[in-house]
Structure 1
Protein backbone atom coordinates (compact mmCIF):
# COMPACT_ATOMS: atom_id res chain seq x y z
CA UNK A 1 0.00 0.00 0.00
CA UNK A 2 1.27 3.47 -0.80
CA UNK A 3 2.75 4.89 2.41
CA UNK A 4 1.20 8.33 1.94
CA UNK A 5 -2.22 6.77 1.42
CA UNK A 6 -1.75 4.70 4.54
CA UNK A 7 -0.96 7.79 6.58
CA UNK A 8 -3.90 9.65 5.06
CA UNK A 9 -6.16 6.79 6.08
CA UNK A 10 -4.95 7.11 9.65
CA UNK A 11 -5.23 10.87 10.02
CA UNK A 12 -8.30 11.62 7.87
CA UNK A 13 -11.47 12.66 9.71
CA UNK A 14 -13.82 9.79 10.46
CA UNK A 15 -17.06 11.56 9.48
CA UNK A 16 -18.47 8.92 7.11
CA UNK A 17 -21.71 9.05 5.21
CA UNK A 18 -24.24 6.23 5.05
CA UNK A 19 -22.44 4.65 2.11
CA UNK A 20 -19.19 4.55 4.04
CA UNK A 21 -17.48 7.38 2.15
CA UNK A 22 -16.02 10.49 3.79
CA UNK A 23 -18.67 13.21 3.90
CA UNK A 24 -16.10 15.94 3.25
CA UNK A 25 -12.50 15.96 2.13
CA UNK A 26 -10.01 16.89 4.85
CA UNK A 27 -8.90 20.51 4.70
CA UNK A 28 -5.36 21.22 3.56
CA UNK A 29 -2.95 22.24 6.30
CA UNK A 30 -1.00 25.46 6.06
CA UNK A 31 2.77 25.08 5.56
CA UNK A 32 4.76 25.22 8.80
CA UNK A 33 7.23 28.10 9.06
CA UNK A 34 10.65 27.25 10.48
CA UNK A 35 13.33 29.85 11.26
CA UNK A 36 17.06 29.09 11.12
CA UNK A 37 19.43 31.40 12.99
CA UNK A 38 23.05 30.90 11.92
CA UNK A 39 26.43 32.54 12.33
CA UNK A 40 25.88 34.19 8.94
CA UNK A 41 22.30 35.39 9.45
CA UNK A 42 18.77 34.04 9.52
CA UNK A 43 16.44 32.51 6.96
CA UNK A 44 12.98 30.96 6.95
CA UNK A 45 11.60 27.73 5.49
CA UNK A 46 8.05 26.65 4.77
CA UNK A 47 7.60 22.93 5.43
CA UNK A 48 4.86 21.32 3.32
CA UNK A 49 3.16 18.93 5.71
CA UNK A 50 0.47 17.99 3.18
CA UNK A 51 2.57 17.11 0.14
CA UNK A 52 5.33 15.32 2.09
CA UNK A 53 3.78 14.26 5.42
CA UNK A 54 6.38 11.65 6.42
CA UNK A 55 9.42 13.76 5.61
CA UNK A 56 7.90 16.93 7.08
CA UNK A 57 6.95 15.21 10.33
CA UNK A 58 10.44 13.74 10.63
CA UNK A 59 12.14 17.11 10.08
CA UNK A 60 9.81 18.87 12.52
CA UNK A 61 10.47 16.38 15.31
CA UNK A 62 14.18 17.20 15.02
CA UNK A 63 13.30 20.91 15.05
CA UNK A 64 10.94 20.61 18.02
CA UNK A 65 13.47 18.49 19.92
CA UNK A 66 16.18 21.13 19.52
CA UNK A 67 18.45 18.76 17.62
CA UNK A 68 19.58 21.41 15.12
CA UNK A 69 20.50 23.96 17.81
CA UNK A 70 24.30 23.85 17.86
CA UNK A 71 24.43 21.97 14.56
CA UNK A 72 26.23 23.17 11.44
CA UNK A 73 26.13 23.67 7.74
CA UNK A 74 29.12 21.52 6.92
CA UNK A 75 29.04 20.84 3.16
CA UNK A 76 28.90 23.06 0.09
CA UNK A 77 28.73 21.64 -3.42
CA UNK A 78 29.87 23.69 -6.43
CA UNK A 79 30.65 22.94 -10.06
CA UNK A 80 34.37 22.90 -9.27
CA UNK A 81 34.42 20.52 -6.27
CA UNK A 82 32.72 17.38 -7.64
CA UNK A 83 35.45 15.85 -9.81
CA UNK A 84 34.06 12.33 -9.48
CA UNK A 85 30.49 13.22 -10.45
CA UNK A 86 29.42 13.43 -14.09
CA UNK A 87 26.09 14.96 -13.00
CA UNK A 88 26.84 18.07 -10.98
CA UNK A 89 24.66 19.93 -8.52
CA UNK A 90 24.75 23.02 -6.30
CA UNK A 91 23.56 22.59 -2.72
CA UNK A 92 24.50 23.41 0.86
CA UNK A 93 24.02 20.69 3.49
CA UNK A 94 23.44 20.89 7.22
CA UNK A 95 22.71 18.69 10.18
CA UNK A 96 22.08 18.33 13.90
CA UNK A 97 24.28 19.06 16.87
CA UNK A 98 26.94 16.30 16.82
CA UNK A 99 26.67 15.94 20.60
CA UNK A 100 23.19 14.46 20.03
CA UNK A 101 24.20 11.86 17.46
CA UNK A 102 23.16 8.97 19.71
CA UNK A 103 19.60 10.34 19.92
CA UNK A 104 18.65 10.03 16.23
CA UNK A 105 15.24 8.75 15.23
CA UNK A 106 14.98 5.73 12.89
CA UNK A 107 15.33 6.29 9.11
CA UNK A 108 12.16 7.20 7.23
CA UNK A 109 10.62 5.91 3.98
CA UNK A 110 11.58 7.89 0.88
CA UNK A 111 8.79 10.19 -0.36
CA UNK A 112 9.68 10.50 -4.03
CA UNK A 113 9.08 13.70 -5.97
CA UNK A 114 6.89 11.68 -8.34
CA UNK A 115 4.51 11.21 -5.38
CA UNK A 116 4.75 14.59 -3.65
CA UNK A 117 5.09 16.93 -6.65
CA UNK A 118 7.70 18.93 -4.69
CA UNK A 119 10.63 19.39 -7.06
CA UNK A 120 14.21 20.38 -6.39
CA UNK A 121 13.92 23.99 -7.54
CA UNK A 122 15.93 26.96 -6.27
CA UNK A 123 15.53 27.17 -2.49
CA UNK A 124 13.98 23.71 -2.09
CA UNK A 125 14.88 21.92 1.14
CA UNK A 126 15.30 18.16 0.97
CA UNK A 127 16.65 15.24 2.99
CA UNK A 128 20.12 13.80 2.56
CA UNK A 129 20.30 10.05 2.08
CA UNK A 130 22.44 7.19 0.77
CA UNK A 131 20.09 4.35 -0.24
CA UNK A 132 16.29 4.64 -0.38
CA UNK A 133 14.62 4.76 3.05
CA UNK A 134 17.80 5.85 4.86
CA UNK A 135 17.16 9.57 5.57
CA UNK A 136 17.36 10.64 9.20
CA UNK A 137 18.33 14.23 10.15
CA UNK A 138 20.70 15.69 7.55
CA UNK A 139 19.13 18.05 5.00
CA UNK A 140 20.21 20.21 2.07
CA UNK A 141 19.04 23.35 0.29
CA UNK A 142 19.18 23.72 -3.50
CA UNK A 143 21.07 26.61 -5.04
CA UNK A 144 19.33 26.99 -8.39
CA UNK A 145 17.09 24.34 -9.96
CA UNK A 146 18.44 20.79 -9.54
CA UNK A 147 16.28 18.40 -11.62
CA UNK A 148 18.85 15.60 -11.36
CA UNK A 149 17.77 15.28 -7.70
CA UNK A 150 14.14 14.55 -8.64
CA UNK A 151 12.71 11.07 -9.22
CA UNK A 152 14.24 9.74 -12.43
CA UNK A 153 17.25 12.03 -12.12
CA UNK A 154 20.56 10.25 -12.02
CA UNK A 155 22.61 12.19 -9.48
CA UNK A 156 22.00 9.14 -7.28
CA UNK A 157 22.49 6.06 -9.49
CA UNK A 158 19.34 4.37 -8.16
CA UNK A 159 17.22 7.01 -9.95
CA UNK A 160 14.84 7.37 -7.01
CA UNK A 161 15.77 10.98 -6.31
CA UNK A 162 15.59 12.72 -2.96
CA UNK A 163 12.70 13.82 -0.73
CA UNK A 164 12.00 17.54 -1.05
CA UNK A 165 9.66 18.73 1.69
CA UNK A 166 9.65 22.52 1.62
CA UNK A 167 11.42 25.66 0.44
CA UNK A 168 13.18 28.79 1.62
CA UNK A 169 10.71 31.70 1.66
CA UNK A 170 12.88 34.43 3.21
CA UNK A 171 16.62 34.96 3.57
CA UNK A 172 17.79 33.07 0.50
CA UNK A 173 20.66 35.58 0.35
CA UNK A 174 21.91 34.09 3.64
CA UNK A 175 21.73 30.56 2.20
CA UNK A 176 23.70 31.69 -0.86
CA UNK A 177 26.29 33.34 1.40
CA UNK A 178 26.71 30.04 3.28
CA UNK A 179 27.11 28.27 -0.05
CA UNK A 180 29.90 30.73 -1.02
CA UNK A 181 31.73 30.51 2.33
CA UNK A 182 35.33 29.16 2.31
CA UNK A 183 35.65 25.43 1.68
CA UNK A 184 38.13 22.63 1.08
CA UNK A 185 36.88 19.90 -1.22
CA UNK A 186 33.19 19.93 -0.18
CA UNK A 187 33.73 20.76 3.49
CA UNK A 188 32.94 24.26 4.73
CA UNK A 189 36.03 25.55 6.56
CA UNK A 190 35.02 26.34 9.19
CA UNK A 191 31.48 24.93 9.26
CA UNK A 192 28.75 27.55 9.62
CA UNK A 193 27.19 27.22 13.05
CA UNK A 194 23.43 26.83 13.44
CA UNK A 195 22.61 28.66 16.66
CA UNK A 196 18.87 28.07 16.87
CA UNK A 197 16.02 26.51 14.84
CA UNK A 198 12.37 26.89 15.78
CA UNK A 199 8.83 26.99 14.43
CA UNK A 200 7.74 30.48 13.46
CA UNK A 201 4.96 31.83 15.64
Structure 2
Protein backbone atom coordinates (compact mmCIF):
# COMPACT_ATOMS: atom_id res chain seq x y z
CA UNK A 1 0.00 0.00 0.00
CA UNK A 2 2.93 2.39 0.51
CA UNK A 3 3.24 3.01 -3.24
CA UNK A 4 -0.35 4.32 -3.56
CA UNK A 5 -1.07 7.96 -2.78
CA UNK A 6 -3.82 8.90 -0.39
CA UNK A 7 -7.20 8.88 -2.19
CA UNK A 8 -8.48 11.78 -0.10
CA UNK A 9 -5.47 13.91 -1.08
CA UNK A 10 -5.43 13.14 -4.82
CA UNK A 11 -9.11 12.70 -5.64
CA UNK A 12 -9.11 15.51 -8.24
CA UNK A 13 -5.98 14.27 -9.96
CA UNK A 14 -7.25 10.69 -10.12
CA UNK A 15 -10.62 11.82 -11.48
CA UNK A 16 -8.91 13.76 -14.23
CA UNK A 17 -6.63 10.86 -15.14
CA UNK A 18 -9.54 8.40 -15.21
CA UNK A 19 -11.51 10.73 -17.48
CA UNK A 20 -8.59 11.00 -19.93
CA UNK A 21 -8.12 7.23 -19.88
CA UNK A 22 -11.83 6.63 -20.55
CA UNK A 23 -11.85 9.02 -23.53
CA UNK A 24 -8.72 7.38 -24.96
CA UNK A 25 -10.24 3.92 -24.67
CA UNK A 26 -13.50 5.11 -26.21
CA UNK A 27 -11.71 6.60 -29.22
CA UNK A 28 -10.04 3.25 -29.90
CA UNK A 29 -13.25 1.21 -29.78
CA UNK A 30 -14.98 2.44 -32.93
CA UNK A 31 -14.64 -0.99 -34.55
CA UNK A 32 -12.74 0.41 -37.54
CA UNK A 33 -9.13 -0.16 -38.47
CA UNK A 34 -7.05 3.04 -38.48
CA UNK A 35 -6.75 4.44 -42.00
CA UNK A 36 -3.12 4.74 -43.02
CA UNK A 37 -3.35 4.94 -46.82
CA UNK A 38 -4.46 7.55 -49.33
CA UNK A 39 -7.66 7.03 -51.29
CA UNK A 40 -8.37 8.14 -54.84
CA UNK A 41 -11.37 7.77 -57.13
CA UNK A 42 -11.11 6.98 -60.85
CA UNK A 43 -14.17 8.41 -62.57
CA UNK A 44 -15.60 6.79 -65.74
CA UNK A 45 -18.95 6.73 -67.53
CA UNK A 46 -19.44 3.19 -66.24
CA UNK A 47 -19.09 4.36 -62.64
CA UNK A 48 -16.44 5.20 -60.06
CA UNK A 49 -13.49 3.04 -59.05
CA UNK A 50 -12.09 3.73 -55.60
CA UNK A 51 -8.56 2.72 -54.69
CA UNK A 52 -6.41 2.89 -51.60
CA UNK A 53 -2.73 3.68 -52.11
CA UNK A 54 0.14 2.56 -49.88
CA UNK A 55 2.65 5.42 -49.49
CA UNK A 56 4.33 3.75 -46.52
CA UNK A 57 5.19 0.70 -48.66
CA UNK A 58 5.73 2.17 -52.13
CA UNK A 59 6.60 5.84 -51.42
CA UNK A 60 8.21 6.76 -54.75
CA UNK A 61 5.45 5.21 -56.85
CA UNK A 62 2.60 6.68 -54.80
CA UNK A 63 4.23 10.13 -54.77
CA UNK A 64 4.60 10.09 -58.57
CA UNK A 65 1.03 8.87 -59.11
CA UNK A 66 -0.38 11.56 -56.80
CA UNK A 67 1.74 14.19 -58.54
CA UNK A 68 -0.02 13.23 -61.77
CA UNK A 69 -3.40 13.25 -60.01
CA UNK A 70 -2.88 16.64 -58.36
CA UNK A 71 -1.60 18.14 -61.62
CA UNK A 72 -4.79 17.07 -63.42
CA UNK A 73 -2.81 14.96 -65.88
CA UNK A 74 -5.30 12.06 -65.75
CA UNK A 75 -8.29 14.27 -66.65
CA UNK A 76 -9.81 13.10 -69.95
CA UNK A 77 -7.34 10.26 -70.43
CA UNK A 78 -8.36 6.62 -70.92
CA UNK A 79 -8.34 2.93 -70.22
CA UNK A 80 -7.06 1.68 -73.56
CA UNK A 81 -5.76 -1.89 -73.16
CA UNK A 82 -7.08 -5.18 -71.82
CA UNK A 83 -5.53 -8.61 -71.57
CA UNK A 84 -7.82 -11.65 -71.34
CA UNK A 85 -7.90 -15.24 -72.60
CA UNK A 86 -9.45 -14.46 -75.98
CA UNK A 87 -6.78 -11.95 -77.08
CA UNK A 88 -3.60 -13.78 -76.06
CA UNK A 89 -1.65 -16.58 -77.70
CA UNK A 90 -2.94 -20.05 -76.83
CA UNK A 91 -0.46 -21.99 -74.73
CA UNK A 92 1.44 -18.89 -73.55
CA UNK A 93 1.37 -17.52 -70.02
CA UNK A 94 -1.74 -15.30 -69.87
CA UNK A 95 -2.35 -12.01 -68.07
CA UNK A 96 -5.62 -10.48 -66.91
CA UNK A 97 -5.66 -6.71 -66.61
CA UNK A 98 -7.09 -3.35 -67.59
CA UNK A 99 -4.47 -0.71 -68.41
CA UNK A 100 -4.86 3.05 -68.53
CA UNK A 101 -3.09 6.37 -68.32
CA UNK A 102 -1.83 9.12 -70.63
CA UNK A 103 -0.34 7.03 -73.44
CA UNK A 104 -3.31 7.11 -75.82
CA UNK A 105 -4.61 10.66 -75.25
CA UNK A 106 -1.60 12.67 -74.04
CA UNK A 107 1.50 10.89 -75.42
CA UNK A 108 3.67 14.03 -75.52
CA UNK A 109 3.01 14.71 -71.84
CA UNK A 110 3.60 11.07 -70.95
CA UNK A 111 7.04 11.26 -72.58
CA UNK A 112 8.01 14.35 -70.53
CA UNK A 113 7.15 13.01 -67.09
CA UNK A 114 9.92 12.05 -64.65
CA UNK A 115 10.66 8.35 -64.41
CA UNK A 116 9.90 6.48 -61.20
CA UNK A 117 12.52 4.39 -59.37
CA UNK A 118 11.37 0.79 -59.48
CA UNK A 119 9.89 -0.53 -56.20
CA UNK A 120 9.71 -4.33 -56.61
CA UNK A 121 7.31 -6.45 -54.63
CA UNK A 122 10.09 -8.17 -52.68
CA UNK A 123 10.89 -4.74 -51.19
CA UNK A 124 7.36 -3.43 -50.67
CA UNK A 125 5.72 -6.65 -49.49
CA UNK A 126 2.78 -5.95 -51.83
CA UNK A 127 1.55 -8.50 -54.37
CA UNK A 128 -0.38 -8.67 -57.62
CA UNK A 129 -3.65 -10.00 -56.22
CA UNK A 130 -7.07 -9.41 -57.80
CA UNK A 131 -7.74 -5.68 -57.62
CA UNK A 132 -4.08 -4.69 -57.26
CA UNK A 133 -3.11 -1.33 -58.75
CA UNK A 134 0.33 -1.45 -60.35
CA UNK A 135 2.58 0.61 -62.63
CA UNK A 136 3.19 -0.43 -66.23
CA UNK A 137 6.75 -0.10 -67.52
CA UNK A 138 9.29 -1.26 -70.06
CA UNK A 139 12.63 -1.80 -68.30
CA UNK A 140 12.87 -1.28 -64.52
CA UNK A 141 12.78 2.39 -63.64
CA UNK A 142 10.92 3.54 -66.78
CA UNK A 143 7.39 3.83 -65.31
CA UNK A 144 5.91 7.33 -65.25
CA UNK A 145 2.12 7.45 -65.65
CA UNK A 146 0.66 4.23 -67.06
CA UNK A 147 -1.00 1.87 -64.60
CA UNK A 148 -3.02 -1.34 -64.63
CA UNK A 149 -5.59 -3.14 -62.49
CA UNK A 150 -5.33 -6.91 -61.99
CA UNK A 151 -8.50 -8.91 -62.63
CA UNK A 152 -7.08 -12.06 -61.04
CA UNK A 153 -4.26 -13.02 -58.68
CA UNK A 154 -1.12 -12.88 -60.85
CA UNK A 155 2.01 -13.92 -58.97
CA UNK A 156 3.85 -13.90 -62.30
CA UNK A 157 3.86 -10.08 -62.07
CA UNK A 158 5.66 -10.14 -58.71
CA UNK A 159 9.44 -10.04 -58.26
CA UNK A 160 10.90 -13.25 -59.64
CA UNK A 161 7.70 -14.03 -61.56
CA UNK A 162 7.52 -15.36 -65.11
CA UNK A 163 5.48 -12.59 -66.75
CA UNK A 164 8.42 -10.22 -67.17
CA UNK A 165 11.71 -11.38 -68.74
CA UNK A 166 13.89 -9.31 -66.39
CA UNK A 167 12.39 -10.98 -63.31
CA UNK A 168 11.95 -7.67 -61.49
CA UNK A 169 8.17 -7.69 -61.73
CA UNK A 170 5.98 -4.60 -61.59
CA UNK A 171 5.45 -2.08 -58.80
CA UNK A 172 2.18 -2.54 -56.90
CA UNK A 173 1.22 0.68 -55.13
CA UNK A 174 -2.46 0.29 -54.24
CA UNK A 175 -5.61 -1.79 -54.42
CA UNK A 176 -9.19 -1.30 -55.57
CA UNK A 177 -11.49 -1.19 -52.55
CA UNK A 178 -14.73 -0.27 -54.34
CA UNK A 179 -15.89 -0.44 -57.95
CA UNK A 180 -14.51 -3.76 -59.20
CA UNK A 181 -17.84 -4.25 -61.01
CA UNK A 182 -16.97 -1.14 -63.00
CA UNK A 183 -13.51 -2.57 -63.77
CA UNK A 184 -15.13 -5.83 -64.93
CA UNK A 185 -17.57 -3.92 -67.15
CA UNK A 186 -14.66 -2.13 -68.81
CA UNK A 187 -12.91 -5.50 -69.15
CA UNK A 188 -15.87 -6.83 -71.17
CA UNK A 189 -15.84 -4.03 -73.75
CA UNK A 190 -14.93 -4.64 -77.41
CA UNK A 191 -11.23 -4.78 -78.27
CA UNK A 192 -8.98 -5.34 -81.23
CA UNK A 193 -5.49 -6.78 -80.73
CA UNK A 194 -5.66 -5.95 -77.01
CA UNK A 195 -6.71 -2.33 -77.60
CA UNK A 196 -10.15 -1.24 -76.41
CA UNK A 197 -12.29 -0.04 -79.34
CA UNK A 198 -13.13 2.63 -78.45
CA UNK A 199 -10.95 3.44 -75.47
CA UNK A 200 -12.87 4.09 -72.24
CA UNK A 201 -12.50 7.68 -71.05
CA UNK A 202 -11.10 8.34 -67.60
CA UNK A 203 -13.04 11.50 -66.77
CA UNK A 204 -10.65 12.28 -63.92
CA UNK A 205 -8.75 10.82 -60.98
CA UNK A 206 -9.13 12.69 -57.68
CA UNK A 207 -7.97 12.34 -54.12
CA UNK A 208 -10.62 11.44 -51.56
CA UNK A 209 -8.46 12.29 -48.54
Q: TM-score range by the shorter chain?
A: 0.7 to 0.9
- 1:78 corresponds to 2:84: yes
1:141 alignment partner, SS class: strand
Deviation sequence 1:37-58 (CA, Å, 0-9, x none): 1121111010100010011101
Gaps (5+ residues) in structure 1? 1-27
Which residue of the other structure, out of 40, 52, 59, is the alignment partner of 1:53? 59
Question: For the Cα contact (< 8 Å) 1:149–1:155, is it kept in 2?
Answer: yes
Alignment of 1:158-173 (within 5 A): 158-173=166-181
* Count of aligned pairs between the two proteins: 174
1:147 aligns with 2:155: yes
Deviation at 1:200, TM superposition (A): 0.5
**TM-fit CA distance, 1:87:** 1.6
CA positional deviation for 1:82: 1.7
Larger radius of gyration: 2
Counterpart residue number, 1:113: 121
Confirm whether residue 101 of structure 1 aligns to residue 96 of structure 2: no
Residue 40 of structure 1 pairs with residue 46 of structure 2:
yes
Runs of at least 5 residues in structure 2 that lack an aligned partner in the other structure? 1-33
Residue 99 of structure 1, CA deviation: 3.6
The alpha carbon displacement at 1:132 in A equals: 0.7
| CA distance in structure 2 between the aligned counterparts of 1:163 and 1:173, rounded to whole angstroms | 23
TM-aligned CA deviation for residue 98 of structure 1: 2.5
Cα RMSD (Å) of the superposition?
1.8
Q: Is the 8 A contact 1:31 1:48 kept in 2?
A: yes
TM-score when normalising by structure 2: 0.79
Structure 1 contact 79–88 (Cα < 8 Å) conserved = yes
Q: 2:193 aligns with which of 168, 185, 188?
A: 185
